[in-house]
Amino acid sequence: MLSGTVMPAESAPQEKIWMAFPSEGYSLGDTEQTRHEARATWAAVAHAVAEFEPVTILVDPNERATADRYLSSAIEIIEAPLNDAWMRDIGPTFVHAPDGSVAAVDWVFNGWGAQEWAQWDRDANIGRFVAEAAGVPVIPSDLVNEGGGIHVDGEGTVLLTDTVQLDPGRNPGLTRADVEAELTRTIGSTHAVWLPCGLTRDSERFGTRGHVDIVAAITAPGRLLLHTQRNESHPDCQVSRTVRAAIEASHDGSGRSWEIIEMPAPATLTDDDGYVDYSYINHLVVNGGVIACAFGDAHDRDAAAILAEQYPGRKVVAVDARPLFERGGGIHCITQQQPAPRPI
């Protein structure tokens, strides 16, 4: 059993990005139009990433012929049985071992808290499948957790939410101390910052119950990017205040107070299903770049400028993420980075 493993910051050098292609079910949709929209959007993200580094995408065998039409030869395809396509959550979390080599934590995945609409009999196997395909050791965990439910600074600090790791549908009976101990064992966290909740829609029926990766992101040690809804008519305006208060009352693993950079929420407030949880926080950092969410929104340009400031020297590439958020997530949610081995 490996010990002393540490999850690096997402800005650390990467080997590749892992994804999954939408298969029959909730994310794909019921009509040809919605199916095309889903496939085209996942493919657009894959091709944006491929401009910076390798991409490997899992494809259900039943979708292979279709995937071949949407994905260029630049994308490596591996067939695997899938229920859905949210690789951040169904895949493993990669970590560095003390010798700088890479390993993968295989969390328990149970459909975001055993939600009645979710299926996960196939997706529950993807963490180990990806680790083995990557050729790295597997670190098994009994914690029900998803990659979108944690965010780290690479120096021991982890962000998480009470409504995810302490969700009775995920980890009944576990305390904060129990969760923190397992995160220390698996990803090397030494200091946890617990946020009280996630965004409003993400807490509704088809949400994750509060993933941190649309709320806050650590862009550098001691510096945090915070989703900020300023429109009083949107319920996330109060959520933003509540989360900010929790962050201001906390510190990072080195004892530093947070430098909070506000990331304005998109100007768009609603869609056909109610208040949106559109968030620019849900970006992906890659080697030399940032793949950013766009929403055809007045704030897209400002958000891209903030990301460029937060990740100097990286090119910001925006992809329309509305089809992803309509299905329950964003660009960060459908991707998972595999870090490069760390030189010792």
DSSP string, 95-162: EE-TTS-EEEEEEE--HHHH-TT---TTGGGHHHHHHHHHT--EEEEEEE--GGG-EE-SSSEEEEEH
Q: Per the domain annotation, does 278 fall within a domain?
A: yes
Contact (CB, 8 A) for 202 and 214:
yes
Residue 3 located in a structural domain: no
In a domain, residue 4? The reply is no
Question: Which one of the listed residues 197, 237, 293, 333 is annotated catalytic?
Answer: 333
- Residue-wise pLDDT for 52-90, tens only, equals 999 999 999 999 999 999 999 999 999 999 999 999 999
- The pLDDT of residue 2 is 74
What value does the mean pLDDT of the chain take?
97
Measure the CA–CA gap between 18 and 58, rounded to whole angstroms: 8
Instruction: Tell me whether residue 5 is in a domain.
Output: no
Q: Classify residue 59: in a domain, yes or no.
A: yes
Overall average pLDDT of the 178-192 stretch: 98
H/E segment holding residue 314: none
Domain total for the chain? Answer: 1
Residue range(s) defining the domain that contains residue 211: 14-339
Confirm whether pTM is higher than 0.95.
yes
Check if 333 is active-site.
yes
Q: Given pLDDT bands bounded at 50, 70 and 90, which one contains residue 105?
A: very high
| 147 in a structural domain | yes
Residue 114 within a domain: yes
265-312 residue pLDDT tens: 999 999 999 999 999 999 999 999 999 999 999 999 999 999 999 999
Look at residue 1 and tell me whether its pLDDT is greater than 80. no
Residue 270, number of CB atoms within 10 A of its CB: 10
Give percent above pLDDT 70 in the chain: 100
CA torsion sign for 177, 180, 181, 182 is positive
pLDDT on residue 44: 98
Phi, psi of 334 (to 5 degrees): -100, 10
Report the pLDDT value the prediction gives residue 27, as an integer from 0 to 100. 83
Query: Among residues of the chain, what percentage have pLDDT more than 90?
Result: 97
Backbone φ, ψ for residue 33 (5° rounding): -65, -45
Residue 331's pLDDT is: 98
Provide the Cα torsion 41, 43, 49, 53; round to 10°.
170
pLDDT at 344 over 90: no
Cα torsion 279, 281, 284, 290 to 10°: value is 100
Q: For position 92, which CATH number holds?
A: 3.75.10.10
CA–CA gap between residue 130 and residue 133 (Å, rounded): 5
The C-alpha atoms of residue 17 and residue 50 are separated, in whole angstroms, by 9
Write out pLDDT tens, residues 214-260: 999 999 999 999 999 999 999 999 999 999 999 999 999 999 999 99
* pLDDT over 80 at 3, yes or no: no
Residue 6 lies in a domain: no
Contacts of 94 (CB under 8 A, 6+ apart): 7, 102, 103, 104, 105, 134, 136, 336, 337, 338, 339
Is the pLDDT at 24 greater than 90? The verdict is no
